[in-house]
Amino acid sequence: MKRVLFSLLLVVFVFAAGCDSGTDNLATPTAGEQEENIVDLNSPTGGFSFSDEEPAFGESDLYTYSSKEPVYNDALENDPEIERWRERQGIKKFRLRAIWGRLARSYEDSTAADCCGLDWSGSMTFDNGVVIIEKLIAFDPEDYITRRNKSTIEWVSHTCPHIDGIQVKLIAPPFKQDSLEADSTETCEPVLTIKTGPFTKSFTLKELESVQLMQPVDRCGNGISINSQIIPPGCPHGYLFGKWENVETDTTSIDSTTSPPDSTDSENDGRILLGHFRGVWIGQNGRISGYLKGIYGINSLGERVFFGKYIDFKGHFKGILRGHFEPTPEITAEYSFPHGIFHGKWFGKNFAQEGRLKGNWISDKDGHGLFHGEWGKNCSNTI
């Protein structure tokens, strides 16, 4: 079974024995880990600086990542026929990343009796298109992925209690807008279908340009998160992934779904720290390229805001993250797991905007949670 170390505060995942060492594993801080020295939800940076940091924010024992972690070697990536095929005029390319399992509790060490294991074995079919596998995320040795043909992949995946997932590139051929058109070289519009035991959904090409989905599938906390975007030529993009951890403050036990206060608190100048997040910055090839950490809460204007800092593996400053987060109550109520969205920007030196980011978060009644999202440089118009 999969085992993951955990702590009470600012937890980041570590996938233990039985999982690939080159996966998107998040590590666990000690229970006594301290908050940021300066927390200011009214500040343009949230209290974070533009300076370099020690590698891994001086907490190298909390991170187990390598910039050389492997990617999946899919034979279709360099297949001559596919190379010729994807250079046809009108081709569209997408990148999709999906993770599934007990999302909010994916870091928890648990026994087989209480880990809420689930069989996620299933398939992905891109009718008339090509699916190229780029990354397997935390698959155990007994789990695997296979290919039926260029349009369909299948996998065996079991989660107990953490997550598995995949990252793929999708190539869609030109298609007929009108079935009466005479151009026989074009096909019907491709549709992507993801099918597992607890979850099935299809996506049109328009939807694939900007999918942002997180859906619980049972009352145990199992769920799936999917992010995809059309690949912008020459425009860097990638993903964000990590731990979303609610904390109690001295003034309130408000959680991330509670309405903003009607009045400010004099002791905290109306600012309420709700929690912390910590995770990894993932490049478009699926490899982890840096670390991030941050805070979220309610500022004196009653806005739900988050701030963070992004550094590379050597600790070099890469960006300040800033934005808003919101709950999704109409979905939250179904399985009693608060979750929602976040969206924002990241800024480089001199506060120059570098790009945008967005994604989803989920937590449980105890405040343990996860975030999963994507980033894109300014040249991307789908973030």
Is residue 101 one of the residues assigned to a domain? yes
- Tell me which of 271 and 177 has the higher pLDDT: 271
- Domain final residue pick, 230, 258, 279: 230
CA distances to 322, 356, 359 from 343, rounded to whole Å, are 8, 8, 7
pLDDT digit string, tens, across residues 182-211: 444 556 888 999 999 899 999 999 999 999
Report the range of poorest mean pLDDT among 9-23, 77-91, 148-162, 321-335.
9-23
Residue 206 lies in a domain: yes
Query: For residue 109, what pLDDT is reported?
Result: 59
Average pLDDT over residues 229-249: 87
Judge if 129 and 243 occupy the same domain.
no
> Mean per-residue pLDDT for 253-280?
59
Burial track 1-13 (b if 16+ CB lie within 10 A, e otherwise): bbbbebbebbbbb
**Residues 201 and 155 occupy one common structural domain:** yes
pLDDT of 8 above 80: no
Model confidence pLDDT, tens digit, residues 69-90: 678 999 998 899 888 877 777 8
Q: For 353-372, how does the pLDDT look when each residue is reduced to its tens digit (9 = 90+)?
A: 999 999 999 988 888 899 99
- Looking at the fold, whether 224 and 311 belong to one and the same domain comes out as no
pLDDT at 367: 86
271 and 169 together in one domain: no
Per residue in 167-180, pLDDT tens? 999 999 886 654 43
- Among candidate residues 230, 249, 279, the one where a domain is terminated: 230
Q: Is residue 49 part of a domain?
A: no
In this structure, is residue 365 part of a structural domain?
A: yes
Domain for residue 141, yes or no?
A: yes
Q: Is residue 44 part of a domain?
A: no
120/96 same-domain check: yes
- 63 and 174 together in one domain: no
- pLDDT at 263 exceeding the cut of 50: no
CA distances from 335 to 34, 86, 108, 123 (A): 33, 42, 20, 25
Q: Find where tokens 């940021």 sit.
A: 36
My answer on whether 202 and 145 are in the same domain is yes
pLDDT confidence tier of residue 258, bands split at 50, 70 and 90: very low
pLDDT of the residue at 136: 93
Reply yes or no on whether the pLDDT at 135 is more than 80.
yes
Could you tell me the pTM of the whole model?
Answer: 0.81
The reply to whether 166 and 277 lie within a common domain is: no
Count of structural domains, the chain: 2
Q: Which domain holds residue 331?
A: 55-67+236-377
Q: What is the Cα–Cα distance from 21 to 25, expressed in whole angstroms?
A: 8
32-46, 151-165, 184-198, 267-281: the lowest-pLDDT one: 32-46
Tell me the percentage of the chain whose pLDDT exceeds 90. Answer: 51
Q: Are 79 and 143 within 8 A, CB to CB?
A: no
* DSSP state, residue 187: B
Same domain as 333, residue 216: no
pLDDT value at 241 more than 50: yes
Of 194, 212, 230, the position where a domain reaches its end is 230
Q: What pLDDT, on the 0 to 100 scale, is given for residue 96? A: 97
Higher pLDDT, 20 or 110: 110
Domain contains 18: no
Query: Is 373 within a domain?
Result: yes
Whether residues 219 and 337 share a domain: the answer is no
Indicate the pLDDT class of residue 28, thresholds 50, 70 and 90.
very low
Return the exposure string of 180-200: e unless at least 16 CB atoms fall within 10 Å of the residue's CB, then b.
Answer: eeeeeebeebbbbebebebbe
79 and 153, same domain (yes or no): yes
Mean pLDDT estimate for the chain = 80
Q: Are residues 92 and 206 located together in one domain of the fold?
A: yes
pLDDT of residue 259: 40
Cβ proximity of 125 and 147 under 8 Å: no
